[in-house]
Amino acid sequence: GKVRRDGRSRGGMEGIGTERIHSWCRAWRSLMGCNSLTLRCDDPSRPISCNPSLLSVSSTVAASAMKGNADLVIDGTRSARLVPYRREHVPLYHGWMEREDLREATASEQLTLEEEYSMQKSWFEDSNKCTFIVLDKDFPSNEGLPNHGGAMAGDVNLFLNDPEDVHAAEIEVMIAENRSRRKGLATEALELMMLYGITELGIRKFYAKIGAGNAPSLSLFERLGFEDVKFSKIFNEVEKALEVSEALLSDLKAKQSGMS
């Protein structure tokens, strides 16, 4: 499944530097007050809040993104809830990636179940990748999985893979379940991930690499304000980018506080 970026070695994931190899867990534990983005642990007895108005998060805070968010839940105000990609999610995720249409749309290689488990572990331990499973709160949790408060619907990712700009991140989303499509779930998942990236990881620029023939995805990112910056003939992909601004942050906060 998640060979789609590393497997093609575009830009590489190494070379970020040891400045990212620090835990940001203490930072978000100490932040207080938030009415637009709710972060909490799976353990409801340990609530965690953040302040999305903060725009000066150090790049070192982004270091152990996957390690630091091991118990993190990002709860949207509409249908989306984001939870870390864990071992228990692998069988269903692997089932999704058995579908040729999803592999083509995400530029993924087909993996065995054992390889998928290995890939999940490597991603979980990689400080430069931030991966969440997208849950659809309109449906009950999947049988055999912890009660997350929603059914698995897809995933959303941030890749901190630009050695020349530690404040830039590649972002992508996949909604695999047909019942969860065409209802704004992908949009909300991206908005949550961007708000999280800005306020907690210090991201100042997002970019997305989308297959030239993937019209729905191209349209999705355009609606969010992404603009074309380059085209890769090798991968037949359009790269779109979005610079972080006060207006963007205000808009993301408003959407998650029910004000828009």
Residues 102-112 have pLDDT tens digits of 998 888 899 99
Is the per-residue pLDDT at 255 higher than 80? yes
Q: How confident is the model at residue 30 (pLDDT cuts 50, 70, 90)?
A: very low
Task: Estimate the crossing angle of helix 113-125 against helix 90-97, to 10 degrees.
Answer: 120
Q: How confident is the model at residue 40 (pLDDT cuts 50, 70, 90)?
A: very low
Element spanning 230, H or E: strand 227-232
Is the per-residue pLDDT at 130 higher than 50? yes
Is the per-residue pLDDT at 137 higher than 90? yes
Q: What is the mean pLDDT of residues 208-227?
A: 96
Residue 26, pLDDT score? 30
Q: What is the mean pLDDT of residues 54-63?
A: 40
Residue 170, strand partner residues? 159, 207
106 and 235 in contact (C-beta within 8 Å)? no
How far is Cα 40 from Cα 58, in angstroms, rounded to an integer? 21
Is the per-residue pLDDT at 17 higher than 60? no
Residue 96, pLDDT score? 97
Residue 69, pLDDT score? 65
Q: How many CB atoms lie within 10 A of CB 104?
A: 12
Q: How confident is the model at residue 10 (pLDDT cuts 50, 70, 90)?
A: very low
Residue 71, pLDDT score? 76
Would you state the structure tokens that stand for residue 131, as one six-digit string?
């991966």
**Lateral strand order in the sheet of 47-49:** 47-49, 38-41, 72-75, 80-84, 129-136, 151-159, 168-175, 205-211, 237-243, 227-232
**209 vs 61 pLDDT, higher one:** 209
CB-neighbour burial class of residue 87 (10 A; exposed 0-12, middle 13-18, buried 19+): exposed
How far is Cα 222 from Cα 216, in angstroms, rounded to an integer? 10
Cα angle for residues 71, 75, 102 (degrees, 5° grid): 85
pLDDT > 90 in the chain, percent: 63
Is the per-residue pLDDT at 145 higher than 90? yes
Q: How many CB atoms lie within 10 A of CB 88?
A: 13
The residue type found at 185 is L
Would you state the structure tokens that stand for residue 214, as one six-digit string?
């993937």
